[in-house]
A and B are shown apart, each in its own frame.
Chain A
Amino acid sequence: MVPGTGYGSHAHLPVPLEIAGIGIMITLKGVTYTYPGTDSPALQDFSTEIPRGQFCAVIGPNGAGKSTLAYILAGFIPHFYQGTLQGEVSVAGKNTTTTPLGDLIRMVGLILQNPFNQISGTKVTVREEIAFGLENLGVARSEMIERVETVMALVGLGDLAERSPLALSGGQMQRVAIASVLVMQPPVLVLDEPTSQLDPIGSKEVFSVVRAMASSRQMTVIMIEHKLEWVASFADRVIVLAEGALLADGDPEDVLANESVWRQGVGQTRYTLAGRRLEELGKWKEGKKLPVTLEEAVPAFRKFQKQV
């Protein structure tokens, strides 16, 4: 078991050979994109590099260009949406503009907000639902069975295998959606607000599964998310977007405690909020970093225990 996740890590999926030697999984250079029928770009002159195996969270207020970034990484911009894309996007060494979408979906798995809309609606059981992508890729039946069982164990869906995918809770359905993408074994996973419609337990399940994928499988994860406390404890890196441009990029502890990030309307974790309140009261040591996670908060707040 991966500590603290509750999901088995013994069920390893093989890393596709073609990406075994790649260190930087995603490269964006001066990327600007404008949706059709709009004047201002949704994403402007954005550049970054994401190494293989990193769990990178993307946060930012509404309209910051987060979903746009997800569609660009998955190749749906420019293959599905019209509009003008400038700059260079490469995923696993492939240029997404010149590579057909049929090849890109093998490289990037995309998971969206609404779990219900990601269920194909044509399958009777969870097991068959997960196999849908493999059927489309033309994978042989024997291999399909093996891969589906492996992924179900990985994501913790074994008990639900025979249930109807449409009769599950939101969290379970989102896990089916994730399994349905993982089974296709993409080296990159892009998640666009996957927990926005889930309750706290469902959200935690999603974070745990994704964390385990990055740690045990060297999967590169880009997750757009609003739940900062979990971003702080699970992600390796946080990118902050505001109005289509990069605002901050770095370790969750540094980025989330940053005052300019918080002023952009991104929010802050309750630990940072408590620290900021102490700062206002003049009780916080000048220049001392504000806590972001529970682990940081406990020692930082200990000395205030008696004063409360």
Chain B
Amino acid sequence: MAEAIGLYLPRASFVHRLHPVTKLAISGFILVAGLALPGMWSPYLLVLFGMLPLAVLSRVFRVLASRTWRIVVPFMISVFLIQGILWSGGTPLIGFGPISFKREGLQFAVASTGRILIVVSSFLWFALTTRPDMLMSALAQRGLSPSLSYLIVSSIQIVPRFQARAATILDAQRARGLEVTGSMLRRMRAVVPLVVPLILSSLIDVEERALAIEARGFNHPGPKTSFVEITQAGWEAFLQWFLVLAMAATLIFRFLSR
């Protein structure tokens, strides 16, 4: 019954129980393959035969689809309109008076939408199914610096807090008569009294946060242990290596086939 942390969605699925690094390798491979494989349709095929079954298996299909949709669709519409119409010197396909959609422009739009789609969906799938704290412990066990993994995981968690503070500062400044609506110039002027307190108060917090984690032994020398048990089946280690090699192979293929 833990409340949502970051993007993680607790579900009783087989995928949720996988080792974080296994999921990192899977989404990393799909990402690399989607960006590196030739052909404008290959990201779509990967989404259809890779991401879709994974999302269903992880029981996050609905959330994954709706969040991906919300990010990708606005991008897709603008890229289709802009690249389709403004592509210079291409083959016109359909025309409305002086405006016409060019074949090359549309191909470019399909390819870039595919890339965005694969980036967004693979990242979201990973974030939805992986607990950030487990990821942190797992990465630390694999030799990643604890400071780096702390930085990554805590920033994901701190975002809502940061937003809440920004809202408080906004309210406070408006209560003191700051105009935040109206002309562009007026809005621009309102930025400074909003941003400065936000940054300063966050910097003050940083000192206290640093003291607090230091007091809990964050920089204590010697090996750390993990409270949550992170288990890994034997085949997972195999899969991880396989995916890393497959990523390397895809990249090599990509550079050789130029």
Give bound CA distance, A39 to B36, whole Å: 60
State which of B4, B208, B217, B218 has its C-beta within 8 Å of the C-beta of A112. B208
Most buried by A among B1, B218, B220, B224: B220
Q: Do B227 and A136 have beta carbons less than 8 Å apart?
A: no
B223 within 8 A of A: yes
B89 within 8 A of A: no
A:155-171 near B, CB below 8 Å: 162-164, 166-167
Q: A162-B1, A162-B2 are in contact. Are A113 and B208 (CB under 8 A)?
A: yes
CB-CB contacts of A85-110 with B at 8 A, as 1s and 0s?
00000000000000001100100011
Nearest chain A residue, comparing its CB with the CB of B153: A122
Contacts of B214 in A (CB 8 A): 76, 80, 101, 105
Give bound CA distance, A136 to B8, whole Å: 24
B142 within 8 A of A: no
Nearest chain A residue, comparing its CB with the CB of B5: A124
Q: Do A141 and B161 have beta carbons less than 8 Å apart?
A: no
Q: A122-B150, A164-B3, A166-B5 are in contact. Are A141 and B225 (CB under 8 A)?
A: yes
Nearest chain A residue, comparing its CB with the CB of B155: A121
Q: Do A124 and B225 have beta carbons less than 8 Å apart?
A: no
Give bound CA distance, A234 to B208, whole Å: 27
Q: Do A105 and B229 have beta carbons less than 8 Å apart?
A: no
B209 within 8 A of A: yes
B219 within 8 A of A: yes
A152 within 8 A of B: no
Nearest chain A residue, comparing its CB with the CB of B6: A124
The bracket for how many chain B residues form the interface is 35 or more
A58 within 8 A of B: no
B177 within 8 A of A: no
Give bound CA distance, A164 to B131, whole Å: 13
Q: A121-B157, A133-B216 are in contact. Are A139 and B2 (CB under 8 A)?
A: no
Contacts of A144 in B (CB 8 A): 225, 227
Q: Do B133 and A102 have beta carbons less than 8 Å apart?
A: no
Q: Do B220 and A181 have beta carbons less than 8 Å apart?
A: no
The bracket for how many chain A residues form the interface is 35 or more
Give bound CA distance, A292 to B223, whole Å: 50
Give bound CA distance, A164 to B218, whole Å: 21
Nearest chain B residue, comparing its CB with the CB of A118: B212
Q: Do A133 and B217 have beta carbons less than 8 Å apart?
A: yes
Nearest chain B residue, comparing its CB with the CB of A180: B216
Q: Do A117 and B5 have beta carbons less than 8 Å apart?
A: no
Contacts of A184 in B (CB 8 A): 216-217
B143 within 8 A of A: no
B91 within 8 A of A: no
Q: A102-B220, A137-B220 are in contact. Are A128 and B133 (CB under 8 A)?
A: yes
Q: Do A136 and B220 have beta carbons less than 8 Å apart?
A: yes
A308 within 8 A of B: no
Give bound CA distance, A127 to B2, whole Å: 11
Q: A138-B225, A162-B1 are in contact. Are A109 and B215 (CB under 8 A)?
A: yes
B252 within 8 A of A: no
B228 within 8 A of A: yes
Q: Whole-angstrom distance from the CB of A286 to the nearest CB of chain B?
A: 48
Give bound CA distance, A74 to B217, whole Å: 12
Contacts of A110 in B (CB 8 A): 211-212, 215
Contacts of B132 in A (CB 8 A): 122, 124
B205 within 8 A of A: yes
Give bound CA distance, A132 to B3, whole Å: 19
A57 within 8 A of B: no
Give bound CA distance, A135 to B223, whole Å: 9
Contacts of A137 in B (CB 8 A): 217, 220, 222
Q: Whole-angstrom distance from the CB of B41 to the nearest CB of chain A?
A: 39
Q: Chain A interface (Cβ within 8 Å of chain B)? A: 71, 74, 76, 80, 101-102, 105, 109-110, 112-114, 116-118, 120-125, 127-128, 131-141, 144-145, 148, 162-164, 166-167, 177, 180-181, 184
Q: Please name the 7 residue pairs, one residue from A and one from B, whose CB atoms are nearest each other, closest first.
A: A136-B217, A133-B216, A131-B227, A121-B154, A164-B3, A118-B212, A117-B208
Q: Given A121-B157, A135-B137, A136-B218, list of 14 further CB < 8 A pairs? A: A76-B214, A76-B215, A101-B214, A102-B217, A102-B219, A110-B211, A117-B205, A118-B212, A121-B153, A122-B154, A124-B131, A135-B224, A136-B217, A144-B225
